[in-house]
Amino acid sequence: MRVTGRLLFVLIVALASLGAMSEQRSDQPTPDNEIRIGNLMPYSGPLSEFGAIGQAEAAYFDMVNDHGGINGRKVRFISRDDNSDPTVALDLTRNLVEKDDVHLMFGSFGTPGNLATRWYLNEKKVPQLFVASGDEELSQAKAFPWTMGWQPPFRSEGRIYANYIQAYYPHRKIVVLWQNDQFGRALLKGIEEGLGNLNRLILVDIAFDISDEHLEGHVSILKRAGADVFVFLGVPSTAAQVIKLAASLNWHPVVIVNDASASIANAMAPAGLQNSAGVISTAFLKDPSDPAWKDDPAMKDWFAFMDKYHHVESTNNSAALYGYAAAEALTQVLKQCGDDLSRENIMRQAASLQDYHPSVALPNIGMNTSPDSYLPIKQMRLVQFDGRSWQPFGAVIETAFSEGAAR
């Protein structure tokens, strides 16, 4: 049975920039000794919690500039607020390319906006690099050679959960609460693909909108289904509510949450550490709120960076760490470009990464690309929350990933 919970909400179209810095810079001359990078983020609207990605990227490039830039060139990072609206995303992208003359678009958030701008950027031959989406449609090397993903694909992540359930809880009944957008659907599709003929084990799946006010009713329905495994696919703030609701209803199934929600600071702690104990997820980056990494050199660099360049209330935001890691990877690509900052060479270098390891990635997880492979990160780890820290188990997973999208 599939139930869809929907509420109407108004998207406010915001054309503001990340800050006065970006807005002022857009009208300045564009000298040859700088690298101009365009970016779109949901700094407002229902997905504004992910605006932390762009804010961390802006701070990262401030740090890069303080250290002399990249190959002697300073970075001008121009980030705009698209409010998660694909139409706004296309208009802003046109302005960034045609008025701000950016060398590339980098790390823009969300599947709809990136799909809306993909045709335009490929027609203009402007790199659309390391998009902040795990949709495989954004990593089709042959069809769209100027567009490349970054994180592990959502469908692959979903297959990992399906494989985990079959290995550890064979023939157990399953219920799923999933975010009603392309992100949630891709994760759910991966689970269904992984289960194959065992999809009958999914007793109920309920779709919810990001502003859904009926979460308690949804969780109550799922509890009454009598399943052993509860899979949540959505954002951290909703994951926190759902885990807390399940505990309040005295419902204690095996709980699986997707990687984007697997943050101690943003999901597990708000839900209650005791309520969250036992939660299963996947990861490819370190969690800055996990005490397991307190003595890790790379994480010490992260906290030093946050203290000096990114003055926010909390240094434990996983979305910010994601932005830091993606900016670090782009910096590597631009370093490889040397003095040739042509768009062709930027794309060529992005497609020639070999065993590059972002400093805040989990051990043994790296990036590899080629002209035929636009899925840079194809590895994840299964992790379980013990009430304090994420505990990895099993080997690094690669078998759930497919190059089928690189067509």
Do 137 and 115 form a contact (C-beta atoms < 8 A)? yes
Q: Tell me 350's DSSP state.
A: H
Q: Provide the whole-model pTM.
A: 0.89
- CB neighbours of residue 123 within 10 Å: 9
Bridge-partner residues for 257, per DSSP?
A: 232
Alpha carbons 351 and 370: distance in angstroms, whole number: 5
Q: Give just the sign of the alpha carbon dihedral 124, 18, 107, 332.
A: positive
Cα angle 58, 59, 61 (rounded to 5 degrees) comes to 70
3-state secondary structure of 298: helix
Mind listing the pLDDT tens digit of every residue in the chain (407 residues)?
544 443 333 333 333 333 333 433 444 445 578 999 999 999 999 899 999 999 999 999 999 999 999 999 999 999 999 999 999 999 999 999 999 999 999 999 999 999 999 999 999 999 999 999 999 999 999 999 999 999 999 999 999 999 999 999 999 999 999 999 999 999 999 999 999 999 999 999 999 998 888 999 999 999 999 999 999 999 999 999 999 999 999 999 999 999 999 999 999 999 999 999 999 999 999 999 999 999 999 999 999 999 999 877 667 889 999 999 999 999 999 999 999 999 999 999 999 999 999 999 999 999 999 999 999 999 999 999 999 999 999 999 987 776 543 33
Alpha carbons 7 and 144: distance in angstroms, whole number: 35
Q: Which is nearest to 124 in space by CA: 79, 73, 81, 90?
A: 90
